[in-house]
Structure 1
Amino acid sequence: MENHDFQISDEDLNNFRERGYNDDLLPKRQSERNMGIRNYFTLWMGSIHNIPNYAAVGGFLFLGLSPINVVFALILSAVVVAVFLSLNGVAGSKYGIPFSIHLRSTYGALGAKLPGFLRGCVAAIAWFGLQNYTGSQALLILIGKLWPGFLRLGGETKFFGISIPGLISFTIFWAINVLIGLGGGKILNRFTAILSPLIYIVFGGMAIWAVNAAGGIGAIFSYRAVETSSSVPPVLIYLMIINSVLAVWAAPGASVADFTQNAKSTKAQMIGQMLSMVVGYAIFALFSVVILIGGSIRYGTQEWNVLNIIEQWDNLPAVILTMAVFLLTTISTNATGNIIPAGYQILALLPKKINYRKGVIIAGIISFVIMPWKLMERSDSIYVFLNAIGAILGPVAGVMIAHFFFSEKQELDLNQLYMDKTTDNTENPYVGINRNSYIATIIAVVLCLSGQFIPVLSGISDYLWLVGFFFAFVLYLILDKLWPVKRTGVTSNKK
């Protein structure tokens, strides 16, 4: 396919290096952009079928929609997420720049540090730890099936609130995730290419088992969860599900340039991501609903924890294979959405002292030290955390897209974006803080969080990402009309 994206020259790259920029922050040469449609198609497939996503679907079934409507709502959510990922990924694929530089173009060199820290350090590292803990629980079940005595190691001894078997399981799973993160996008491409076929084989087999266990597909789609709430209009429930799925993808969606910087072309990443999300979620929506309801019918209880369903199987090889694939999908999710962005953002904060690999190691150590198992002591911890992430990163995403497409009109000046800090940069539009971006983001975040304290605004609490994104988007455009940021010439992108 013909490529109209900006091609960086060796002369410009050498110039940026002389200005003190680490190679990991530099725009990618065309020869380094090796991710095509197939790579992006498989990139997110492994990130969809993870344990928290199955738990979320279980919660959706209690909202009052029929099973088939939950499937449709998930597919519609996937379309929205796909559009978001594709659009926010254009800056990365067009110029070959990572998220930290994309963020600089929106918030300014100084202004980018706070939203970058919130996404790349707070959100990514905390979520990395939480995902490691949920994955380690699957590993603990798997080891327990193979070696029952392992679960009795240390007796009742606790280490900072976690059992000895739990700590060992967590440490092993944590180490594997960090190693995958150290390999970066190249290792991840190979990993997801192998994982994707396994996902369809294993989860397809689970879906067939669930249909047989329930007595047919009709029994599954006619099933109704008890104690469902029918007082909320269906259209609002659809919006709640869309918002929840967007919150899951809020962090990787904001920093998607870390992956699209490696795209062969903008067209490739947009087609690949659209197909990945829509096809992947269509399959996940059907499989998850069928598996959870089929398992609930089979065991006579409404069981929305997919691990508990698998643990009750009496077929040991099937348990081992399924748990292993769940572990692999969690690793894929953790690498794409958490440890890789965290590594790049820590690098961006200290570019002269830290490279990407050191950033991954630092992020990994912090994720262990915060003891994520303590964060998971409450059953609703994941949902509270995701809601908070949506409230913060929804506005950030809204401002990023509004700025790039409407203020910059998709044209960035790389020479000024990679500014020479030894010269006078007073005329540089990317220096300091972009006032309009900050005002729009802060007001939108305050609006989202105010629903927790102001009764009249409590209704927005179920739609924080959507409210934050659209409010910040519109407010930024208004501010940019009233007080436009000074622009200078831009680099040509027609080479």
Structure 2
Amino acid sequence: MQELNREQLKKEGFNDDILPTKPDERSWGIGNFASVWMGSVHNIPNYIAIGALFALGLSVGQVFAAIMIASVIISAVMVLNGRAGSKYGLPFAMLIRSSFGTKGAMVPGILRGVIAAIMWFGFQTYAGSQALSILIAKMWPPFLTLGGDWNLLGLSLPALISFLLFWLFNVALIYGGMKFLGKFTNILSPIVYIVFGGMAIWAIKLAGGIEPILAYTGTGISGNQVVVFIAAVMAVIAAWAAPMVSVSDFTRLANSTKSQAIGQTVGLIVTYLLFAVASISIIVGSEIAFGTPIWNVLDVVARFDSTFAIAVSVLTLCLTTLSVNVTGNIVPAGYQLASLFPKKLTFKSGATIAAVIGILVMPWKLMENATSIFTFLNIIGGLLAPIAGVMLAHYYVVSKTEIDLGELYSKNGKYNYKNGFNENALITLVVSGVLCLIGNFVPFFEPLYDMSWFVGIISAFVLYSLLETRRAARTLNT
């Protein structure tokens, strides 16, 4: 691997946050990667998404199959797109330059590291704040009556207080640093299994055993069953559209490529298997027991008859949501803003700015009903899947897994392409993005919109590979 003159690069404006990690900084092993994404699976928005699948009419078997198929696809993309990070120690903000160009990288960087990350951050923060409201109310019942009918942009005073408190917890974790984050996820892992396992057992008992849950058939899918099922798989995957693009921000800390490959594969698939059992048991079991569909897991927790059980469950939901919010949203946002303004911002200051903007997007509007989350996931998938497709095609098809670090950190190297922009990558991003999202405006293309992540990653991979192959052929002929 090429040796870089780090001191010279710092003089040119590159700070430590966007330089390749040093050997002594690559300390994450299989255990770290197996646990770091656990909170990303067991969190409130993911449970809401599964509740929404049942709201679409899917049966228990169909939901279970959708979750497990999605987990295999997620782990495969995470490992494949994380290989460059573990091999070269590159953060996403620099890796993306190899395919989009030194200036063109700003386009996917802003889409993932700013727009998508901040939208997700706000959404996760509000979801976590709802859990925090339940916890505070159990300890201090008058809390929910504070302010009476007063509200600010749709938030009551208790909701606003909880939102701001949970927001502060997220910011505090940012300043703890990546090493602290790794320790935090390791401590959280066993608690997740205990709490969600206990919730599943509780729901199974309420439903009268596992048999009634397995026999649950749902209301039946309306429309094309194949399209709806693929859309269900996509909904689970789309929640990972952002981490799949910027996974190198974490794999750059891996002590080997093997560690991140094994850790992520085992961690994601095993965790999703347990998540499938727990989420289905909790959502279906509570519906059978209470006679009404309950798509929000927080509404299930609020029905517990034990204050202690509520406190432990809600606290765990808060912590898992906090974990995924920082790892999947604020970390990439911080790195991206630092790369856009390397002389003015560091990772921490960039992450703080992103956290402030996350308040301003009013994320509470995304949890108004059982299926509103699908609109959010389709848009996120449509924006980010084409980026993942271009990255995979460039690294494996075009570059053959080789990156020239000296050229990557050069302002006028081969990754500068034409005036800093790789037109093939940008053309691919636009074409694939239109294919993904046009169905939101033109009814004829709605099936493409319902499967936006699949459409985006496949079309981008194929189109970019063809365009770059054509470029290579022209170069040989001149």
Tell me whether the two structures share a fold, i.e. TM-score over 0.5. yes
Q: Match of 2:173?
A: 180
CA contact (8 A) 1:184 1:340 kept: no
Letter of the 1:461 partner, please give it. Answer: Y
Q: Match of 1:358?
A: 349
Q: Match of 1:456?
A: 444
CA 1:427 to 1:171, structure 2 compared with 1: closer, same or farther past 3 Å? Answer: closer
Letter of the 2:434 partner, please give it. Answer: V
Structure 1 residues 412-439: Cα deviation after superposition (integer angstroms, max 9, x where no partner): 11111001x4xx6589548601111111
User: Per residue, is there more helix in 1 or in 2?
Assistant: 2
- Displacement of 1:372 in angstroms is 2.3
**Match runs of 1:44-83 below 5 Å:** 44-83=37-76
**Match runs of 1:16-35 below 5 Å:** 16-35=9-28
CA contact (8 A) 1:391 1:468 kept: yes
- Residue 468 of structure 2 corresponds to residue 475 of structure 1: no
Q: Match of 1:137?
A: 130
Q: 1:323 aligns with which of 314, 317, 320?
A: 314
Structure 1 residues 185-231: Cα deviation after superposition (integer angstroms, max 9, x where no partner): 212111111111001111111111111111111111001223x3254
Letter of the 2:421 partner, please give it. Answer: I
- Displacement of 1:347 in angstroms is 0.3
Distance in 1 separating the partners of 2:51 and 2:261: 30
Distance in 2 separating the partners of 1:486 and 1:411: 21
Q: Match of 2:398?
A: 407
CA 1:144 to 1:85, structure 2 compared with 1: closer, same or farther past 3 Å? Answer: same
- Residue 240 of structure 2 corresponds to residue 249 of structure 1: yes
Distance in 2 separating the partners of 1:300 and 1:450: 39
Distance in 1 separating the partners of 2:341 and 2:205: 56
Distance in 2 separating the partners of 1:426 and 1:205: 55
When structure 1 is superposed on structure 2, of 65-74 and 340-349 the one drifting more is: 65-74
**Match runs of 1:316-465 below 5 Å:** 316-374=307-365, 376-377=367-368, 380-419=371-410, 421=411, 425=413, 429=417, 432-465=420-453
CA 1:485 to 1:151, structure 2 compared with 1: closer, same or farther past 3 Å? Answer: farther
- Displacement of 1:168 in angstroms is 0.8
Distance in 2 separating the partners of 1:174 and 1:404: 36
Q: 1:110 aligns with which of 103, 107, 129?
A: 103
Distance in 2 separating the partners of 1:427 and 1:86: 24
- Displacement of 1:398 in angstroms is 0.3
Letter of the 2:245 partner, please give it. Answer: A
Q: What's the secondary structure of 1:61's corresponding residue?
A: helix
CA 1:278 to 1:481, structure 2 compared with 1: closer, same or farther past 3 Å? Answer: same
Distance in 2 separating the partners of 1:67 and 1:481: 45
Distance in 2 separating the partners of 1:349 and 1:367: 18
- Displacement of 1:237 in angstroms is 3.8
Distance in 1 separating the partners of 2:404 and 2:63: 45
Distance in 2 separating the partners of 1:121 and 1:91: 22
- Displacement of 1:309 in angstroms is 1.3
Distance in 2 separating the partners of 1:175 and 1:16: 34
Distance in 2 separating the partners of 1:171 and 1:486: 56
CA contact (8 A) 2:147 2:156 kept: yes
Q: What's the secondary structure of 1:35's corresponding residue?
A: coil
Structure 1 residues 146-171: Cα deviation after superposition (integer angstroms, max 9, x where no partner): 11111111111112331111111111
CA contact (8 A) 1:104 1:430 kept: no
Q: Match of 1:207?
A: 200
Q: Match of 1:156?
A: 149
Structure 1 residues 249-291: Cα deviation after superposition (integer angstroms, max 9, x where no partner): 0011101111111111111111111111100100000110011
CA contact (8 A) 1:429 1:485 kept: no
CA contact (8 A) 2:227 2:447 kept: no
Distance in 2 separating the partners of 1:369 and 1:477: 39
- Displacement of 1:329 in angstroms is 0.7
When structure 1 is superposed on structure 2, of 211-220 and 153-162 the one drifting more is: 153-162
Distance in 1 separating the partners of 2:414 and 2:283: 59
CA contact (8 A) 2:407 2:414 kept: no
- Residue 24 of structure 2 corresponds to residue 38 of structure 1: no
Letter of the 2:199 partner, please give it. Answer: M
When structure 1 is superposed on structure 2, of 193-202 and 50-59 the one drifting more is: 50-59
CA contact (8 A) 1:207 1:287 kept: yes
Distance in 1 separating the partners of 2:473 and 2:240: 30
- Displacement of 1:184 in angstroms is 3.3
Distance in 1 separating the partners of 2:156 and 2:223: 42
Distance in 2 separating the partners of 1:99 and 1:218: 46
- Displacement of 1:31 in angstroms is 1.0
Letter of the 1:467 partner, please give it. Answer: V
CA contact (8 A) 1:416 1:430 kept: no
CA 1:64 to 1:308, structure 2 compared with 1: closer, same or farther past 3 Å? Answer: closer
CA contact (8 A) 1:98 1:257 kept: yes
Letter of the 2:94 partner, please give it. Answer: I
Distance in 2 separating the partners of 1:176 and 1:274: 29
When structure 1 is superposed on structure 2, of 156-165 and 145-154 the one drifting more is: 156-165
